[in-house]
C-alpha cells in the first residue's frame, strides 16, 4: 500500500520531503507532482523501479526516460551540452520543457533510447519537485504518469493512490497540478527540433 505524503506546494516541509527521499534511497518508486502533471520517479540506478515503470506504462525500449535535475550543474553531469545548446536551454529553464540530449557515461545504458543513446533532461519550475531533487542530491529518473490508453498525465494524488496503490511506495500530494505536458525539444544533432508542443512556448526553438 502506497504511503500518502502531503507537502505544501510553495513552502515544502523538509520533514515531509525527507520521507519521500528516504523511500527513493531505499529503492522505492513514487508518484510526485511537477509543473506538468504527475511523474513516476526513482533513483537513477534502480533497475527494479525502471522495470516497474515500464510495466505500469507498458513502455518499449524506444521510450525516452527523463532525468529531472535541480540545476544546470547537475544537468551537465548527465548530458552533453555545448555552448550554443547551453544558452538555448538556459533561457527556457526552469520551466515546462524536456530536452532530448546525448547522454554521458554517468547515465546507465538501460535508461537510454535503444538506438539514439539519448535521454530526456529537464529542470522543472515546481517547489516540491525542486525540494525533493535537492535533498536527494542527484537527478530523479522519471517518466510522466500517463496510464496505458490515456493521452494525458494524471493530476490528482488520491486518484493515483486508488489506481496504483499496490504498485508504488508513495504518492506525494501538493494540491492542484497543471495537466499540460512539457514541450519536448530534441537536440540530438545540435539543432533544436520541437517534437511535442506543450506548456512551454516552442517559439524560441522553432
- Residues 168/177, Cβ–Cβ less than 8 Å: no
Q: Could you write out the DSSP letters of every residue in 98-131?
A: EEEEEB-TTS-GGGS-TTT-EEEEE----HHHHH
Name which of 41-45, 58-62, 128-132, 191-195 the model is least confident about. 58-62
Domain locations along the chain: 3-198
Nine-digit cell string for 47:
533497475
Position 183 scores a pLDDT of 95
Each residue's pLDDT tens digit, 109-166: 888 777 788 899 999 999 999 999 999 999 999 999 999 999 889 999 999 999 999 9
CB 139 within 8 A of CB 78: yes
Q: Which pLDDT value is given to residue 155?
A: 94
Give the CATH architecture of domain 3-198.
Alpha-Beta Complex (3.90)
Confidence (pTM): 0.94
Share of the chain above pLDDT 70, in %: 100
CA distance 186 to 162: 35
Average pLDDT in the 52-56 region? 96
Per-residue model confidence (pLDDT) at position 83: 86
Average predicted confidence (pLDDT) for the chain? 93
CA–CA separation, 139 and 122 (whole Å): 10
Percent over 90 (pLDDT), the chain: 76
Strand-pair partners of 186: 100, 193
Amino acid at each position: 500500500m502506497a504511503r500518502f505524503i502531503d507537502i505544501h506546494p510553495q513552502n515544502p516541509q523538509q520533514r515531509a520531503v525527507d520521507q519521500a527521499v528516504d523511500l527513493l534511497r531505499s529503492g522505492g518508486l513514487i508518484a510526485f507532482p511537477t509543473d506538468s502533471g504527475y511523474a513516476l520517479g526513482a533513483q537513477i540506478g534502480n533497475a527494479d523501479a525502471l522495470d516497474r515503470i515500464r510495466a505500469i506504462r507498458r513502455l518499449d525500449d524506444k521510450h525516452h526516460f527523463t532525468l529531472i535535475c535541480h540545476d544546470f550543474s547537475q544537468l551537465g553531469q548527465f548530458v552533453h551540452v555545448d555552448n550554443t545548446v547551453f544558452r538555448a536551454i538556459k533561457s527556457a529553464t526552469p520551466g515546462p520543457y524536456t530536452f532530448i540530449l546525448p547522454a554521458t557515461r554517468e547515465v546507465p545504458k538501460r535508461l537510454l533510447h535503444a538506438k539514439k543513446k539519448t535521454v530526456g533532461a529537464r529542470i522543472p519550475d515546481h517547489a516540491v519537485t525542486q525540494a525533493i531533487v535537492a535533498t536527494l542530491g542527484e537527478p530523479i529518473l522519471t517518466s510522466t504518469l500517463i496510464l496505458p490508453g490515456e493521452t494525458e498525465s494524471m493530476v490528482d494524488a488520491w486518484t493515483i493512490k486508488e489506481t496504483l496503490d499496490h504498485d508504488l511506495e508513495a504518492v506525494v500530494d501538493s494540491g492542484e497540478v497543471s495537466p499540460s505536458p512539457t514541450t519536448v525539444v530534441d537536440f540530438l544533432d545540435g539543432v533544436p527540433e520541437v517534437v511535442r508542443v506543450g506548456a512551454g512556448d516552442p517559439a524560441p526553438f522553432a
